[in-house]
């Protein structure tokens, strides 16, 4: 790198800089917040000079004297450079390569790049622009030209900021849009999961809003929406994330807020909105809102599950008469209307215990991630309740929880208590099966736990409910001919399924005998639990199919028992 080449132009640079007239400040080319500029040049004099010029204009300048240093600075998210002014020739590469690399650094906004060099011919200019530069500055650097080019860049950046604002903000209410909300919430969701922080989701919708439009006109409807949005925005903390979720639906994520605290907040906003008088051209109107509230539960996979549960709570609030909040716990206990008695005729008083799979395999909070992973793998168990020394349920651990810490170097030392999820969805065994069916039918969650006096007694999944339908409800004679097992072909299919289940049971039993003989006594506990829970599932299946199928079932049970004895 020829440092001396630039020293010769130092004098002319200084002269030109003093000739600069005071710039006029315009709306789009002004530097609204102190934009940060990265100046890359191996010549200290040039770096100092450009820094001086730009600092006086209100820019914040950071300098680098080689490509690597520049890239390190660009990759450091704390800088967020809006501009880069780079020399062509650098000690460890050239400006063209630096620009190409810089364009691959992920940034939240566009970075305007000016290439400063004495290689000012057309060919080089084209190369610089093609590599990703936005503008070109020939050396010796003229202050007024530098500032003018940076201002041209600032206009582009300001335009980008305005476009981003427009894209991220709902035009009518000024609230963030759903897209930007989801981006922000995804980060908050991961933070809450990582640090096990509480978080609540409140979603609300204006009651009978269509009437406002119908009676007072669409413009009046818009006015009401703006006013509700104003009250909403003024009721939240800075850390809360809010948006206009849909037409007249709004959503808030309240970080580090428990469901109980969120309920108090939700009730306050409900009262505030009900008390707000919206002054229209020809009338003054009041509106009420209905709200749904949910918090993350162990069974939720991601944010969309949380919003979905909150939205179902909102629907429940609407159906219960509006102008109220329904929190998730209430949703769990609610049973939808069944005026025709159709649902009751299907469920016929069935309770959760009738369809659940009993819990056999539990793990303790002190077990290691290594041991439990091995246990899950050996016995193909996807999840297990975690119980303390008294047998009280304290959490649930699944393959997913184990996966999340699998990359850590010490799986022998990580205790299950560290990875298990505690916020469980539990129902008593005596609860109506219809209530659990309704819940699993409404949300994406697949499984709930059945607990009695704090102890896990069973698991009720969508699969267990379907199995209950197949083995019980669909087989009843009074359920209609189309679903009954009338057809000979169906009977043969059922027979085959039954035989298959019996064979697997026999095979598992043989495996158990072999394992007991060949494994050490230390391994017996986990192995027996795993195998027996699998056998238990099969037996439930066999018994259920016999129960609903009279003589035929008995015949197949006989063959199942025979297979077991093989
Ligand atoms: P509910 O209590 O069940 O929520 O009844 P509702 O009348 O509020 O709900 P419905 O879904 O029947 O009607 C919502 C209306 O909101 C219909 C739609 O035209 C209106 N709407 C949606 N977005 C806007 C908007 O931006 N401006 C105006 N003025 N109206 C809107
Ligand atoms: Mg509405």
Q: What is the pLDDT of residues 168-206, one digit of tens each?
A: 999 999 999 998 999 899 889 988 888 889 999 999 999
Last residue of a domain, one of 331, 357, 376: 331
Ligand 2 centroid to Cα of residue 167, in Å, is 25
Q: Do residues 140 and 249 share a domain? A: no
Q: What is the pLDDT of residue 206?
A: 98
The answer to the question of residue 427 being in a domain is yes
Alpha-carbon separation of residue 478 from 13, 196, 256, 351 (angstroms): 98, 50, 52, 20
Q: What is the pLDDT of residue 544?
A: 65
Q: Do residues 121 and 251 share a domain? A: no
The answer to the question of residue 10 being in a domain is no
Q: Do residues 249 and 190 share a domain? A: yes
Q: Whose CA is nearest to atom 24 of ligand 1?
A: 247
Q: What is the pLDDT of residue 563?
A: 45
Q: What is the pLDDT of residue 508?
A: 84
- State the ligand closest to the CA atom of 210: 1
Q: What is the pLDDT of residue 57?
A: 92
Nearest atom within ligand 1 for CA of residue 224: 29
The answer to the question of residue 326 being in a domain is yes
Distance CA 531, CA 549 (A): 28
Ligand 1 pocket: which of 209, 227, 270 to mutate (most atoms <8 Å of CB)? 209
Residue 38: CATH number of its domain: 3.40.50.2300
Specify whether the CB–CB gap between 299 and 314 falls below 8 A.
no
**C-alpha 27, offset from chain centre:** 39
Ligand 1 pocket: which of 248, 274, 292 to mutate (most atoms <8 Å of CB)? 248
Q: Do residues 391 and 504 share a domain? A: yes
Q: How many structural domains is the chain composed of?
A: 3
Regions of the chain short of the pLDDT cut 70: 1-34, 331-337, 477-490, 544-566
Share of the chain above pLDDT 70, in %: 86
The answer to the question of residue 71 being in a domain is yes
Q: Whose CA is nearest to atom 10 of ligand 1?
A: 210
Provide residues with CB under 6 Å of ligand 1.
172, 205-210, 213, 218, 221-222, 225, 247-248, 318, 322
Q: What is the pLDDT of residue 488?
A: 65
Residue 205: CATH number of its domain: 3.30.70.270
The answer to the question of residue 16 being in a domain is no
Residue ranges making up the domain that contains 320: 178-331
Q: Do residues 524 and 387 share a domain? A: yes
Ligand 1 centroid to Cα of residue 206, in Å, is 8
Q: Do residues 47 and 107 share a domain? A: yes
The answer to the question of residue 432 being in a domain is yes
Q: Whose CA is nearest to atom 17 of ligand 1?
A: 210
Last residue of a domain, one of 125, 144, 168: 168
The answer, as to whether pTM is greater than 0.75, is no
Q: Do residues 58 and 79 share a domain? A: yes
Nearest atom within ligand 1 for CA of residue 213: 29
Q: Do residues 51 and 137 share a domain? A: yes
Specify whether the CB–CB gap between 413 and 435 falls below 8 A.
no
Specify whether the CB–CB gap between 198 and 258 falls below 8 A.
yes
Q: What is the pLDDT of residue 1?
A: 39
Residue 513: CATH number of its domain: 3.10.580.10
Q: Do residues 365 and 507 share a domain? A: yes
Ligand 1 pocket: which of 203, 208, 210, 317 to mutate (most atoms <8 Å of CB)? 210
The answer to the question of residue 17 being in a domain is no
Last residue of a domain, one of 168, 201, 222: 168
Could you write out the three-class secondary structure of 447-484? EEEEEECCEEEEEEEHHHHHHHHHHCHHHCHHHCCCCC
Closest CA to 287 of 246, 203, 244, 226: 226
Q: Whose CA is nearest to atom 15 of ligand 1?
A: 210
**Beta pairing partners, 115:** 86, 136
Ligand 1 centroid to Cα of residue 279, in Å, is 19
Q: Do residues 159 and 214 share a domain? A: no
Backbone angles phi, psi at 528, to 5 degrees: -65, -45
Q: Do residues 161 and 208 share a domain? A: no
Nearest atom within ligand 1 for CA of residue 322: 2
Element housing 214 (H / E): helix 209-216
Q: Do residues 514 and 543 share a domain? A: yes
Specify whether the CB–CB gap between 255 and 273 falls below 8 A.
no
The answer to the question of residue 14 being in a domain is no
């Amino acid at each position: 790198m020829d440092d001396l080449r630039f020293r010769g132009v130092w004098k002319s640079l200084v002269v030109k800089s003093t000739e600069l007239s005071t710039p006029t400040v315009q709306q789009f080319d002004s530097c609204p917040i102190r934009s940060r500029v990265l100046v890359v040049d191996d010549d200290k004099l040039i770096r100092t000079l450009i820094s001086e010029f730009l600092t006086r204009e209100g820019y914040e300048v950071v300098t680098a004297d080689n490509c690597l240093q520049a890239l390190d600075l660009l990759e450091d998210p704390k800088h967020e450079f809006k501009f880069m002014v780079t020399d062509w020739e650098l000690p460890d590469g050239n400006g063209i390569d630096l620009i190409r690399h810089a364009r691959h650094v992920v940034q939240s906004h566009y970075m305007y790049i000016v290439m400063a060099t004495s290689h000012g011919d057309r060919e080089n200019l084209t190369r610089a622009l093609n590599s990703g530069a936005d503008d070109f500055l020939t050396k010796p650097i003229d202050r007024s030209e530098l500032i003018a080019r940076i201002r041209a860049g600032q206009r582009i950046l300001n335009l980008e900021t305005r476009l981003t604002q427009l894209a991220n903000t709902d035009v009518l209410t000024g609230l963030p849009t759903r897209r930007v909300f989801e981006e922000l919430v995804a980060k908050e969701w991961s933070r809450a999961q990582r640090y096990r922080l509480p978080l609540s989701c409140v979603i609300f919708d204006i009651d009978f809003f269509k009437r406002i439009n119908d009676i007072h006109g669409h413009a009046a409807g818009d006015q009401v929406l703006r006013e509700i949005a104003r009250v909403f925005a003024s009721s939240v903390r800075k850390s809360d994330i809010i948006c206009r979720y849909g037409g007249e639906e709004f959503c808030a994520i309240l970080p580090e807020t428990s469901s109980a605290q969120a309920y108090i907040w939700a009730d306050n906003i409900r009262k505030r909105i009900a008390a707000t008088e919206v002054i229209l051209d020809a009338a003054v109107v009041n509106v009420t809102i209905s709200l749904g509230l949910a918090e993350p539960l162990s069974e939720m996979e991601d944010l969309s599950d949380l919003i979905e549960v909150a939205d179902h709570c909102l629907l429940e609030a609407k159906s219960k008469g509006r102008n109220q909040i329904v929190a998730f716990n209430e949703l769990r206990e609610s049973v939808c209307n069944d005026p025709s008695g159709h649902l009751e005729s299907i469920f016929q008083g069935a309770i959760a215990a009738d369809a659940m799979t009993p819990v056999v395999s539990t793990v303790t909070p002190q077990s290691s991630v290594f041991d439990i992973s091995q246990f899950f793998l050996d016995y193909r168990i996807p999840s297990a309740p975690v119980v303390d020394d008294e047998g009280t349920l304290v959490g649930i651990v699944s393959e997913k929880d184990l996966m999340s810490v699998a990359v850590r170097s010490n799986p022998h030392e990580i205790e299950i208590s560290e990875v298990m999820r505690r916020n469980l969805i539990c129902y008593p065994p005596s609860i109506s099966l219809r209530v659990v069916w309704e819940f699993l039918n409404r949300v994406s969650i697949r499984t709930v736990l059945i607990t009695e006096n704090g102890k896990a007694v069973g698991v009720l999944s969508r699969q267990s409910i379907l199995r209950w339908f197949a083995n019980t409800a669909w087989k009843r004679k009074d359920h209609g001919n189309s679903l009954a097992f009338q057809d000979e072909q169906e009977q043969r299919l059922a027979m085959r399924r039954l035989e298959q289940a019996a064979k697997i049971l026999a095979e598992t039993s043989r495996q158990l005998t072999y394992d007991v003989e060949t494994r050490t006594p230390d391994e017996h506990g986990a192995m027996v639990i795993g195998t027996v829970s699998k056998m238990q599932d099969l037996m439930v299946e066999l018994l259920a199919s016999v129960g609903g199928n009279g003589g035929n079932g008995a015949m197949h049970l006989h063959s199942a028992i025979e297979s077991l004895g093989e």
